């Protein structure tokens, strides 16, 4: 099937699933299989991207290297991107959907530095484009967004932004005229942050939150199912099914039972939860009040945690040990099965052993890399500052159906507490459960590995959509 016909099929399926009423918009996620096999160097770079993203120092090994740290551009199971439309007439832009940031930015057609051969937005061609008077705008209306050691700079602007048939007029975004090398790569043009306004460098209300505030969504929710990619390589870069992103509700074919919601911790910034406990081979890992805060991040591949807890975790895995030359990573015999769980708000969620084993340390090795790494590298984490000790990424999220629930706000004040919910995957989504009976949504099939059952201890009607993809 040609790329055009495949794209058309996905759009048709999305239209059918959305129907003609104010129902959630179900956007197919596509993953790009890369021809280059992933190894320790790939995951070390991904870990440093996560450290930089959340304000932790990167490893000294990477500091000594000659390669630039590249953000958000790699990952068969990492960065997902989808098509939005900006301007009048609309110009399509592929943007990474990231619950670990809050700004929307795209590369300008006038970009002058490290812009690469990416699709760009031509502001002169939009009749609704205008520069912003935001207080975040510095001299000449510009600002800079910092991504660890990477930056993107440009002009703060406003224009109409569409996702499917949901739209926000005068959405504030950064029109980038300069980026760090490798920050984006064709066919991606920028990033759409799905976290909260408080951490937005542009000080703007994120697109999803603007829809919630305007009561444009049937329910103020974003549902995420991530399918497994496996660790195989391909002779060519190829698009394969990667999951479903739902805006304005959930996809009930993808989970069974109830969604277990927990209110977010602290003032809304990142999507944060308190991690009750962590186990390795049925042994509970010591956590205290200073290292329980966890960011739930669709843009992170692995799970990162504080040094002491990660070291204790691997102390329970026979034959495991630090990977020489790669700070924060641990290996174990490939024949060993790691049984791990995370507990949020009294409900324990198992992680499939296939996700805890991310592959051989190097080609032909009998030692494999663990799916949990040392995020903090021994740095002190200030208590009460909202800085997460844990970043929970796809290694965990592939085992659950995840729902991010917002709350309407007026004058910057939230009317309630946001929440994050997890549910057991249905058999259609690769889980062991049955399909939830409430609501309606599109059916699909997948070849994802099975997961275990969790245990408890205590703007407008969308008529069409664009597919999401993962580079």
Active site residues: 98, 297
d(C-alpha 444, C-alpha 448), whole Å: 12
d(C-alpha 158, C-alpha 187), whole Å: 23
Q: Where are the beta strands (DSSP E) in 229-308?
A: 238-247, 255-263, 272-274, 277-280, 283-285, 293-296, 303-305
Nearest to 278 by CA among 216, 181, 356, 166: 356
| Residue 199 DSSP one-character state | G
d(C-alpha 40, C-alpha 370), whole Å: 10
d(C-alpha 319, C-alpha 351), whole Å: 20
d(C-alpha 379, C-alpha 59), whole Å: 11
Is 406 in contact with 63 (CB distance < 8 Å)?
no
Q: How many residues are listed for the chain in this entry?
A: 471
Classify 376 as helix, strand or coil: coil
Straight-line distance from the first to the last Cα atom of the chain, in angstroms, rounded to the nearest whole number: 19
> Could you tell me the two tokens for 302?
């692995």
Rg (CA), the chain: 21
d(C-alpha 50, C-alpha 68), whole Å: 14
d(C-alpha 267, C-alpha 255), whole Å: 29
Is 86 in contact with 161 (CB distance < 8 Å)?
yes
d(C-alpha 79, C-alpha 191), whole Å: 10
Sign of the dihedral through C-alpha 76, 400, 6, 232: positive
> Could you tell me the two tokens for 268?
């809304």
Nearest to 54 by CA among 305, 344, 308: 305
List b or e across 316-326, with b for residues whose CB sees 16 or more CB atoms inside 10 angstroms: bbeebeebeeb
Sign of the dihedral through C-alpha 392, 394, 395, 399: positive
């Amino acid at each position: 099937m040609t790329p055009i016909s495949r794209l058309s099929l996905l759009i048709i399926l999305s239209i059918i699933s959305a129907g003609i009423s104010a129902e959630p918009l179900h956007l197919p996620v596509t993953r790009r299989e890369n021809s280059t096999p992933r190894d320790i160097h790939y995951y070390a770079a991904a870990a440093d991207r996560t450290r930089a993203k959340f304000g932790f120092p990167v490893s000294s090994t990477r500091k000594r290297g000659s390669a630039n740290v590249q953000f958000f551009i790699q990952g068969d199971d990492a960065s997902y991107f989808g098509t939005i439309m900006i301007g009048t007439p609309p110009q399509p832009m592929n943007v990474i959907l990231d619950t670990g940031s809050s700004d929307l930015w795209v590369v300008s057609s006038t970009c002058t530095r490290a812009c690469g051969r990416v699709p760009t937005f031509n502001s002169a061609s939009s009749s609704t484009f205008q520069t912003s008077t935001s207080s975040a705008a510095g001299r000449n209306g510009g600002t800079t967004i910092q991504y660890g050691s990477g930056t993107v700079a440009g002009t703060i602007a406003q224009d109409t932004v569409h996702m499917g048939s949901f739209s926000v007029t005068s959405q504030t975004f950064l029109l980038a005229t300069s980026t760090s090398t490798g920050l984006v790569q064709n066919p991606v043009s920028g990033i759409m942050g799905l976290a909260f306004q408080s951490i937005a460098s542009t000080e703007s209300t994120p697109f999803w939150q603007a829809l919630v505030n305007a009561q444009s969504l049937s329910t103020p929710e974003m549902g995420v199912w991530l399918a497994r990619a496996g660790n195989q390589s391909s002779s060519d870069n190829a698009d394969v099914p990667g999951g479903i992103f739902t805006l304005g509700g959930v996809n009930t074919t993808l989970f069974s039972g109830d969604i277990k919601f927990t209110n977010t911790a602290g003032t809304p910034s990142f999507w944060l939860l308190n991690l009750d406990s962590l186990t390795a081979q049925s042994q509970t890992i010591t956590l205290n009040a200073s290292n329980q805060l966890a960011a739930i991040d669709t843009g992170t591949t692995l799970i990162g945690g504080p040094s002491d807890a990660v070291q204790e975790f691997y102390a329970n895995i026979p034959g495991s040990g630090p990977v020489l030359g790669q700070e924060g990573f641990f290996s174990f015999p490939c024949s060993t099965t790691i049984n791990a769980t995370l507990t949020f708000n009294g409900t324990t969620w198992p992680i499939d052993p296939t996700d805890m084993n991310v592959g051989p340390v190097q080609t032909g090795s009998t030692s494999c890399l663990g799916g949990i790494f040392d995020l903090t590298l021994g740095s002190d984490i200030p208590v009460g500052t909202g800085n997460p000790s844990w970043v929970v990424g796809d290694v965990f999220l592939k085992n659950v159906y995840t729902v991010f629930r917002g709350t309407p706000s007026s004058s910057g004040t939230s009317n309630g507490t946001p929440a994050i919910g997890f549910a057991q995957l249905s058999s259609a989504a690769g889980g062991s459960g049955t399909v939830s009976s409430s609501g309606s949504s599109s059916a699909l099939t997948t070849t994802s590995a099975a997961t275990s059952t969790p245990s408890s201890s205590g703007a407008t009607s969308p008529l069409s959509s664009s597919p999401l993809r993962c580079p």
